[in-house]
């Protein structure tokens, strides 16, 4: 007998079976964070609050852009890039977006965010492992697509000019603009950990995963209904506003017609819309990339943010999405004069190399960047400013109106119909090298 039994390859399952079933059926789940991680979120919130309390001119130093002068501290990328640095949408919200490189950050943010990045990415990776088991995949199936997002970098960015134009530019396909920008800007992370001799990190080498600190204006509108682009998103909220929409329960099969009821199935009364529910304070949500890689078995979470207190109460009817044992039920109402804040960690699939589809029950492999770009198509960036959203929405409607667009909204039809779809927006016009996230699914 061989006593040499190898250790299990993974930690034991994290989610109880009923919670995993809820997540895989509805796309969202309330979580109770371990104390140490909840503390880290509270510390990051305090640091983030301190940053948002700064005068507008100070915060603007951290916006993305190039050639913005010696005081500029933000990422040296396109000025319209909403996926890095500080963004302010007047009357709506402001947010600071961190990427794995952890560079170009206001003082104090790196120290508060880096440990939290590590713990959150690893928590979501573990939940992906559970989802893999639910799907009948190897629990390690996701490792290759998230490996480059798991650990934060060291926040050092020292562009002394000798790697411009080459290293990493093609790595994730989003580097050219970043790299060009670096020529015009020293790009030092002056508010952050000084140091030398350590591996340098350039923003252009970042995987698309992000950590975002939000502050919403009271009554400023929140975020329109959408689905996230990536694999899993963790939202930690201070103040009510995040709402989720469960999947419609399966409908009973139409009965054989009888003399009593001769209605055609198509004449059945229309279903009332599924109501929005207030999300638990800490909620994990599935994204479109997970939907696609699960062969469409796992829905992506429909969600929105409603910060108009009156609308939030009316639309969700005070019901809470805490119908599972894991949810945390302390999503206190924000007083209308108070700003809602949230910290969002969006774990996205790599854009480097190839994705082995066999690991997901498919066949062959696909270039990771191609998968990412296909899923990103026909999306509206719900975190862009009003004008940009209007342009994207109009283009989206134009394409749909011509009948050449997606037969149905969403990545399923995109994947089925290949990548020949007209592109309502590919991100270039708005964010240049950034990812558009969030799709409006019922554009009014
Ligand atoms: O602020 C939140 O709670 C969620 C924001 C969101 O859904 C998003 O930015 O994609
Ligand atoms: Fe979202």
DSSP per position, 217-239: PTTS--EEEE--SSSEEEEEEES
65 alpha carbon – ligand 2 mean position (Å) = 24
| Burial (CB count within 10 angstroms: exposed 0-12, middle 13-18, buried 19+), residue 297 | middle
Cα distances from 288 to residues 36, 154, 199, 291, in angstroms, run 30, 29, 33, 5
Residue 164: count other Cβ atoms within 10 Å of its Cβ. Answer: 14
User: pLDDT at position 389, please?
Assistant: 77
90 alpha carbon – ligand 1 mean position (Å) = 17
Nearest CA to ligand 1 atom 7: 304
Ligand number, closest to the Cα atom of 342: 1
Q: Decide: helix, strand or coil at residue 164.
A: coil
189 alpha carbon – ligand 1 mean position (Å) = 27
Domain ranges of the chain: 17-248+273-378
User: Phi-psi bin for 378: left (phi > 0), alpha (psi -120 to 50), beta?
Assistant: left
Ligand number, closest to the Cα atom of 344: 1
User: Phi-psi bin for 128: left (phi > 0), alpha (psi -120 to 50), beta?
Assistant: alpha
Nearest CA to ligand 1 atom 1: 342
Q: Which of 342, 347, 381, 436 to mutate to test the pocket of ligand 1 (most atoms within 8 A of CB)?
A: 342
Q: Which of 89, 305, 331 to mutate to test the pocket of ligand 1 (most atoms within 8 A of CB)?
A: 305
Alpha carbons 237 and 177: distance in angstroms, whole number = 33
Alpha carbons 84 and 25: distance in angstroms, whole number = 32
What atom of ligand 1 comes closest to residue 437's alpha carbon? 10
Residue 145: which residues within 8 A CB-CB, separation 6 or more? 231, 293, 349, 350, 355, 368
| Burial (CB count within 10 angstroms: exposed 0-12, middle 13-18, buried 19+), residue 181 | buried
What atom of ligand 1 comes closest to residue 279's alpha carbon? 3
User: pLDDT at position 356, please?
Assistant: 94
User: pLDDT at position 383, please?
Assistant: 78
Largest CA distance in the chain: 84
Nearest CA to ligand 1 atom 9: 383
User: In degrees rounded to 5, what are phi and psi of residue 86?
Assistant: -95, 135
Alpha carbons 146 and 131: distance in angstroms, whole number = 14
Residue 241: count other Cβ atoms within 10 Å of its Cβ. Answer: 27
Residue 428: which residues within 8 A CB-CB, separation 6 or more? none
438 alpha carbon – ligand 2 mean position (Å) = 6
ipTM for this prediction: 0.99
Predicted TM-score of the model (pTM): 0.79
Residue 332: which residues within 8 A CB-CB, separation 6 or more? 239, 240
- For 17-248+273-378, CATH gives 2.60.120.330
User: In degrees rounded to 5, what are phi and psi of residue 187?
Assistant: 70, 15
User: pLDDT at position 425, please?
Assistant: 31
Cβ–Cβ under 8 Å, residues 164 and 48: no
User: pLDDT at position 232, please?
Assistant: 98
Alpha carbons 182 and 433: distance in angstroms, whole number = 14
Pocket residues: Cβ below 6 A from ligand 1: 214, 223, 228, 235, 237, 242, 303, 305, 342, 344, 383, 437-438
What atom of ligand 1 comes closest to residue 235's alpha carbon? 3
Angle of helix 109-135 relative to helix 35-52, nearest 10 degrees? 130
Cβ–Cβ under 8 Å, residues 286 and 300: yes
Alpha carbons 363 and 136: distance in angstroms, whole number = 16
Name the residue among 175, 69, 152 with its Cα closest to residue 105: 152
List, for the chain, all residue ranges whose pLDDT scores fall below the cut of 70.
Answer: 1-3, 7-9, 158-201, 253-267, 309-337, 378, 396-444
Alpha carbons 190 and 293: distance in angstroms, whole number = 40
Q: Decide: helix, strand or coil at residue 53.
A: coil
User: pLDDT at position 251, please?
Assistant: 74
User: pLDDT at position 385, please?
Assistant: 80
Q: Which of 52, 95, 214 to mutate to test the pocket of ligand 1 (most atoms within 8 A of CB)?
A: 214
Alpha carbons 354 and 289: distance in angstroms, whole number = 15
Per-chain residues with Cβ under 5 A from ion ligand 2: 228
């Amino acid at each position: 007998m061989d006593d040499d039994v190898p250790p299990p390859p993974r930690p034991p399952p994290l989610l109880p079976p009923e919670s995993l079933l809820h997540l895989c059926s509805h796309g969202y789940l309330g979580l109770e964070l371990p104390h140490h991680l909840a503390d880290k979120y509270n510390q990051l919130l305090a640091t983030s609050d301190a940053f948002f309390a700064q005068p507008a001119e100070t915060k603007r130093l951290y916006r993305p852009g190039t050639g913005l002068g010696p005081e500029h501290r933000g990422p040296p990328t396109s000025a319209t890039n909403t996926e890095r640095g500080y963004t302010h949408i007047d009357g709506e919200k402001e947010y600071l977006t961190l990427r794995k490189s952890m560079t170009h950050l206001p003082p104090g943010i790196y120290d508060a965010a880096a440990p939290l990045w590590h713990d959150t990415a690893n928590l979501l990776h573990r939940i992906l492992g559970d989802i893999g088991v639910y799907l009948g995949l190897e629990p390690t199936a996701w490792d290759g697509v998230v490996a480059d997002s798991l650990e934060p970098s060291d926040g050092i960015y020292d562009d002394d000019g000798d790697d411009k134009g080459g290293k990493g530019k093609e790595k994730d396909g989003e580097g050219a603009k970043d790299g060009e920008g670096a020529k015009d800007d020293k790009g030092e992370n002056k508010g952050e950990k000084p140091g030398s001799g350590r591996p340098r990190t350039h923003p252009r080498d970042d995987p698309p995963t992000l950590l975002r600190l939000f502050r919403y204006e009271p009554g400023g509108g929140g975020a329109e209904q959408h689905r996230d682009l990536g694999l899993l998103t963790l939202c930690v909220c201070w103040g009510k506003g995040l709402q989720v929409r469960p999947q419609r329960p399966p409908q009973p099969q139409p009965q054989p017609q009888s003399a009593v009821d001769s209605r055609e199935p198509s004449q059945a009364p229309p279903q009332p819309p599924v109501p929005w529910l207030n999300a638990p304070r800490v909620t994990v949500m599935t994204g479109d990339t997970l939907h696609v890689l699960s062969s469409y078995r796992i829905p992506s979470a429909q969600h929105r943010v409603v910060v108009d207190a009156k609308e939030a109460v009316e639309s969700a009817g005070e019901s809470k999405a805490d119908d599972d044992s894991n949810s945390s039920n302390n999503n206190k109402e924000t007083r209308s004069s108070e700003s809602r804040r949230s910290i969002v960690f969006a774990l996205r699939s790599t854009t480097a190399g190839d994705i082995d589809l066999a690991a997901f029950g498919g066949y062959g492999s696909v270039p990771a960047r191609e998968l990412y770009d296909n899923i990103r198509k026909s999306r509206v960036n719900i975190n862009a400013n009003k004008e940009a959203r209007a342009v994207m929405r109009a283009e989206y409607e134009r394409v749909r109106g011509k009948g050449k667009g997606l037969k149905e909204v969403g990545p399923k039809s995109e994947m089925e119909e290949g990548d020949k779809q007209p592109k309502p927006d590919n991100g270039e016009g708005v964010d240049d090298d950034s990812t558009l996230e969030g799709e409006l699914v019922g554009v009014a």
